[in-house]
Structure 1
Amino acid sequence: MASESLADALARAGSPVRLMRDLASPPSTFPVRPEFTNWRTEQRAWVQTCALLDQSHHMTDLFIEGPDALRLLSGLAVNTFAGFGVGRAKQFVAVDPEGHLIGDAILFHLEEELFDLVGHPMVLDWVTFHVERGDHEVTVERDDNSAVRASGPPRLYRYELQGPTAAALIEQVTGAPLPEVRFFHMTEFPIAGRRVRGLRHGMAGQPGFELFGPWEDGEAVLEALLTAGADHGLVRVGAKAYSTANLESGWVPAPMTALFSDHPLMQEYRAWLPVSKVGSIGGSHHSADIRDHYLTPFDVGYGKNVRFDHEFIGREALERLAEAPPRTKVTLVWNADDVAAAIGSLFRPGPGAKYIEMPKARYATHHEDQVLVDGRQVGISLDCGYLANERAMVSLATLENEFAAPGTEVTVVWGEDPVSAKPAVEQHVQVRIRATVAPVPFVDFAREGYRAR
């Protein structure tokens, strides 16, 4: 039976906010082992030695091939495609006609007419919609993540190696000096007799590579990495620790998707998109107007990606917004005593505070909490979690520019009122947690200043 469309679900619910706050869609999950040792030790590995993260199962790949592939992608992305040749990758950012975020993913240029768009499904669905409605001479092949794939293994394995000893490990396993590779450029390595592609990457402020290739080669490559890794302090990282890496580097993994504009294109998209592919909203930021939940590329730090050297959906809106973006992405360091008090409320007669899960505390696909100064909302707190390396609870947030300076004191409202019907939400009361503004990425600031205090 076909899934109900978003348009039909919206007509039934009567309001985008009402629909999305009660959707059962959970936070993005990582269908790999939660911990190989414990998530605190695994977080430490990418700072002290080397972490190996298996990305083979939680990402979705959309392979786009054909003579019009580049034209299609350029018309949907805020990014420039000048000089984007084979062997390069970029963060692909898409917006709606009003300049609000649809989503982002990593775009790999694998061959002259072949691209792989890798990430959360939001932006991949948007690209697929335009393939089906447009006149582009392209074909697409989708490989869903292992949580929802109908059958069989992934098409590709994908391993992330990050940390101070990652380069030495790769040199040992390949038997050759590490080649000079620029950030977000690809190279090839021979590992265990297999041809392995490597993307020069960085996660949580540490050097490393994303290694990938055909699924059937994955076990041999993994075994070679683990064997060589014994000499370099290699630690396998499970889903719990991996889910927090973005908090150090500053990437917002699931910003709210702008789906509900009255623009004819968006009406057509809602009729095409199954509601089963739409994420839930959770958190204390609760406006009756869905537009108050939307974000722009400037809100989440993608202003540097926006280039007006080509035509793309949403260009006019972003040209106006680029003149004076009103908000800035920051890190919020939550007050330890207030967090401890919220957790402690679980041990007193209830209801207490909303349960704070560790190490990742979000409880919806799109997490949005109010950020207050003197009782007035000045921004939205987004992804949140605990960093064992810094012994700090932090969140990524977007704040009005006036309040975005490091050291500014703000308050995060934790919990929902009214409490939504999402399965992950129990009866609770809202609590206010003091927080201090810090830079993005937090990892650099933390190494130099936070822990020193």
Structure 2
Amino acid sequence: MSTESLAAALARAGSPVELLRNLAFPPSTFPVRPEFTNWRSEQRSWLETCALLDQSHHMTDLFIEGPDALRLLSDLAVNTFANFGVGRAKQFVAVAPDGHLIGDAILFHLEEELFDLVGHPMVIDWVTFHVERGGYDAKVERDDNSIVRRSGPPRFYRYELQGPTAPALMEAVLGTTVPEVRFFSMTEFTVAGRRVHGLRHGMAGQPGFELFGPWEDGEAVLDALLRAGEDHGLVRVGSKAYSTANLGSGWVPAPLPAVFGDDPLLAEYRDWLPVTSVGSLGGSLDSPDIADYYLTPYDVGYGKTVKFDHDFVGREALERLAEAAPPRTKVTLVWDAEDVTAAVGSLYRPGPGAKYIEMPKARYATHHEDVVLKDGQRVGISLDCGYLANEREMVSLATVDTALAEPGTEVVVVWGERPVSAKPAVEDHVQVEIRATVAPCPYDARDTYRSR
């Protein structure tokens, strides 16, 4: 690879924390139109009518093909692959040898020996590395997101329909009853004369579909959806609103990949991985030990995903973790309105004031980790944060000591960095404490969301 390796960058910086806190890398961005109307109304659409979200440009696709493709994926994922036949999809979760998260993505089983892994680069890189190391009769083809793709359009278009009117809209566009499809299973539709793959999906407790197919068919399919949507309240959602969709659904989009351990496999990986693939670290957590920033599958609600019916990287470590009750639990934190207002208001008084809170998504680094306190003691990590117009609240996803995960528990989120890092998005500011209340996760549909 032409760019500096992670290993070389670490040798220059001296420590993982020093390197990542000062990398000039922004949070993941969505290279689509920011707003079609306004992000507040667009946020409301997936709960009130139907949202159309264009997923064609912001994720990376890794196509994995060959006789050993399934064995490769099984060797790297905590998931079971029993009964994972063609036409199924699942959340693919990978961990390091010590059991901490590398990342997650959505895995589509397209053909007998062909899979499509779709997500952020963290887990895509991990799978690619293992293919290139050898030992598998498989090959990969990578289709980067539209921010870094060298030329040309994506291989697939992807449109997501989510909301109460999504089933009726699909019936209108198909001209027939929508076939019964199990959650996270695929079927095929014909839209505007084009063959379309459809994944039965759900977001914020509402029904929906992810539709995808060859890029050259995308415009015709989109036009058909927009025409049918005129009678069903269809709202096109831009990148600002879409970036917050995970907050209500409870998905942590960018956990810090745990690639800095002493295992020889990780040392080899750091030599292979470009430093540009890791991303920056932001937030008030300021431990010098990079392990304090790591998360396990149990920390972020993936415990039910872990299955010990196969061998995989990190299995022994997760077996030890599974023997005891998980020490931390994923929750939603609802930030105190008065404290948030005071932090924003400090920008209008002589400074320095609080760290700027971007709307609607407040994350300002690739990986965001703020300290959560109870009675002055650190009890967890606040992760992704932003504003939900449906609730008129600032919230964050967090993992906290299990004893404090009961809804209604009061904690404190520390907002802002100390010392102030060199990231371009970080201005001179002071840390502030923002009171928060523990709430269920997922939050948007805390009474109706599909039990996981």
Q: TM-score, normalised by structure 2?
A: 0.98
Amino acid at match of 1:419: V
Match of 2:310 in 1: 310
Could you tell me whether the CA contact under 8 Å between 1:205 and 1:248 is conserved in 2? Answer: no
Say if 2:319 is the partner of 1:319.
yes
Work out the CA distance in 2 between the residues paired with 1:444 and 1:36.
25
Counting only pairs closer than 5 Å after superposition, residues 269-280 of structure 1 correspond to structure 2 as: 269-280=269-280
Change in Cα spacing, 1:314 to 1:197, as seen in structure 2 (3 Å) is same
- Once superposed, which parts of structure 1, at least 4 consecutive aligned residues long, lie more than 4 Å away? none
Shift, 1:236, TM fit: 0.2
Shift, 1:447, TM fit: 8.4
Change in Cα spacing, 1:307 to 1:447, as seen in structure 2 (3 Å) is closer
Match of 1:120 in 2: 120
Amino acid at match of 2:11: A
Match of 1:347 in 2: 348
Counting only pairs closer than 5 Å after superposition, residues 227-376 of structure 1 correspond to structure 2 as: 227-324=227-324, 325-376=326-377
Work out the CA distance in 2 between the residues paired with 1:381 and 1:49.
31
Work out the CA distance in 2 between the residues paired with 1:357 and 1:428.
14
Match of 2:96 in 1: 96
1:275-309 CA distance string (max 9 Å, x none): 01111110001100000000000001000100000
Match of 2:199 in 1: 199
Amino acid at match of 1:46: W
Counting only pairs closer than 5 Å after superposition, residues 58-97 of structure 1 correspond to structure 2 as: 58-97=58-97
Counting only pairs closer than 5 Å after superposition, residues 169-188 of structure 1 correspond to structure 2 as: 169-188=169-188
Kindly tell me the number of residue pairs found equivalent between the two proteins. Answer: 448
Amino acid at match of 1:271: D
Shift, 1:256, TM fit: 1.1
Match of 1:111 in 2: 111
Say if 2:410 is the partner of 1:406.
no
Say if 2:396 is the partner of 1:395.
yes
Amino acid at match of 2:171: E
Match of 1:451 in 2: none
Work out the CA distance in 2 between the residues paired with 1:238 and 1:309.
41
Shift, 1:204, TM fit: 1.9
Could you tell me whether the CA contact under 8 Å between 2:415 and 2:433 is conserved in 1? Answer: yes
Match of 2:386 in 1: 385
Work out the CA distance in 1 between the residues paired with 2:257 and 2:280.
10
Could you tell me whether the CA contact under 8 Å between 2:55 and 2:157 is conserved in 1? Answer: yes
Work out the CA distance in 2 between the residues paired with 1:134 and 1:22.
34
Amino acid at match of 1:385: G
Counting only pairs closer than 5 Å after superposition, residues 5-154 of structure 1 correspond to structure 2 as: 5-154=5-154
Amino acid at match of 2:106: I
Work out the CA distance in 2 between the residues paired with 1:169 and 1:328.
37
Could you tell me whether the CA contact under 8 Å between 2:6 and 2:271 is conserved in 1? Answer: yes
Specify every segment of 5 or more residues in structure 2 that has no aligned partner in the other structure, as ranges.
none
Work out the CA distance in 2 between the residues paired with 1:445 and 1:50.
19
Give the secondary structure class of the aligned counterpart of 1:86. Answer: coil
Shift, 1:446, TM fit: 7.7
Give the secondary structure class of the aligned counterpart of 2:42. Answer: helix
Q: TM-score, normalised by structure 1?
A: 0.98
Specify every segment of 5 or more residues in structure 1 that has no aligned partner in the other structure, as ranges.
449-453
Work out the CA distance in 1 between the residues paired with 2:448 and 2:215.
37
Work out the CA distance in 2 between the residues paired with 1:287 and 1:296.
18
Work out the CA distance in 1 between the residues paired with 2:409 and 2:278.
35
Work out the CA distance in 2 between the residues paired with 1:57 and 1:446.
32
Shift, 1:444, TM fit: 2.4
Work out the CA distance in 1 between the residues paired with 2:12 and 2:322.
37
Could you tell me whether the CA contact under 8 Å between 2:204 and 2:445 is conserved in 1? Answer: no
Amino acid at match of 2:391: E
Work out the CA distance in 2 between the residues paired with 1:446 and 1:84.
30
Work out the CA distance in 1 between the residues paired with 2:401 and 2:280.
25
Work out the CA distance in 2 between the residues paired with 1:436 and 1:4.
43
Could you tell me whether the CA contact under 8 Å between 2:252 and 2:397 is conserved in 1? Answer: yes
Change in Cα spacing, 1:265 to 1:365, as seen in structure 2 (3 Å) is same
* Aligned sequence identity (%): 80
Shift, 1:84, TM fit: 0.3
Match of 1:189 in 2: 189
Shift, 1:259, TM fit: 1.1
